[in-house]
Amino acid sequence: MKLLKIMLIPFVALLVTGCEKVITADLKTAAPRLVVDASIDWVKNTAGNEQKIVLSTTTGYYSSEFPGVSGAVITVTNAENSVFNFVETPGTGQYICNNFLPVIGQTYNLKIILNGETYTATETLTPVPKIEDNIDQNNKGGEAGDEMEITFYYRDDASRMNAYLNSITQPYSVFPELEVEDDEHTNGNLMQESYSHEKLKAGDRVDIKLYGISKNYYNYMFKLIVASGNDGNPFPTIPSAVRGNIVNQTNSQNYAFGYFRLAEVATKSYTIK
């Protein structure tokens, strides 16, 4: 038995050391594809005239930078044939429009001309209810009852089928935490969303954004969240490419990633007590 213990010590040490070693797999990198971030967001009680579309490309798995794409001609046209030009800030891949006119329920058409190819998409600007003023705080929230938890509310519009994107930003996550909801079983109800985080403490600010989104965008984001493994499922699906509504009219094989979205946005900030 003593010999067995002596033999186990170096064996366990070897296992622990082995677990700490970082292994970088030699992955093949596919040819870059265009990525379109065309999120037209109209925050309530603002003019909504300043909008931005960002073009970049896919990159290697281990790369932290997404190269911007310059030289595109980008326009958005509304149902009245008014054309809004998005002009690039030189060398950035960011295309800016300063005179956009957002109209709830109006359909808009996106056109991107790049390297002799034309990409298009169509979407409707979707409304969103306000976030109610009362936000509840539970100091024993979360699954284990040991986290600060807040709950916010909004009234679903019973006259139409609705879908929503919730975005939560707080000091302990680099990126916003996203969740999609629809009103299939809650049409016309007072909706509530709860959020908790293990590090939240008194004085921390939580920023809430609620987007009104189309059903198509809801389906897209649902697939994207599941594919990313951030849906809370202990048995996540294998990550895969999720295609949006951007269509290459010139060469269908050279498809782009991303989505053309138009959403009204409600915002609210809450400071943990």
Cα–Cα distance for residue pair 154/176, rounded to 1 Å = 20
pLDDT at position 248: 98
- What are the pLDDT tens digits along the chain (273 aa)? 333 333 344 443 444 445 555 554 545 556 789 999 999 999 999 999 999 999 999 875 545 677 899 999 999 999 999 999 999 999 999 999 999 999 999 999 999 999 999 999 999 999 999 999 999 999 999 989 999 999 999 999 999 999 999 999 999 999 999 999 999 999 999 999 999 999 999 999 999 999 999 999 999 999 998 887 654 444 444 455 789 999 999 999 999 999 999 999 999 999 999
Cα–Cα distance for residue pair 129/192, rounded to 1 Å = 12
Cα–Cα distance for residue pair 152/132, rounded to 1 Å = 7
72 and 88 Cβ atoms separated by less than 8 Å: yes
- Note the pTM of the prediction, 2 decimals: 0.84
Q: Which of 53, 70, 217, 45 is nearest to 131 (CA)?
A: 45
Cα–Cα distance for residue pair 26/29, rounded to 1 Å = 10
pLDDT at position 230: 54
pLDDT at position 227: 82
pLDDT at position 11: 40
pLDDT at position 233: 44
pLDDT at position 53: 98
Cα–Cα distance for residue pair 7/239, rounded to 1 Å = 41
pLDDT at position 2: 33
**Which burial class, exposed, middle or buried, applies to 246 when counting CB atoms under 10 A from its CB (0-12, 13-18, 19+)?**
buried
- 3-state SS of the chain? CHHHHHHHHHHHHHHHHHHHCCCCCCCCCCCCCEEEEEEEEEECCCCCCCEEEEEEECCCCCCCCCCECCCCEEEEECCCCCEEEEEEECCCCEEEECCCCCCCCCEEEEEEEECCEEEEEEEECECCCCECCCCEEEEEECCCCCEEEEEEEEECCCCCCCEEEEEEECCCCCCCEEEEEECCCCCCCEEEEEEEECCCCCCCEEEEEEEEECHHHHHHHHHHHHHHCCCCCCCCCCCCCCCCCCEECCCCCCCCEEEEEEEEEEEEEEECC
Q: Which of 271, 265, 272, 273 is nearest to 131 (CA)?
A: 265
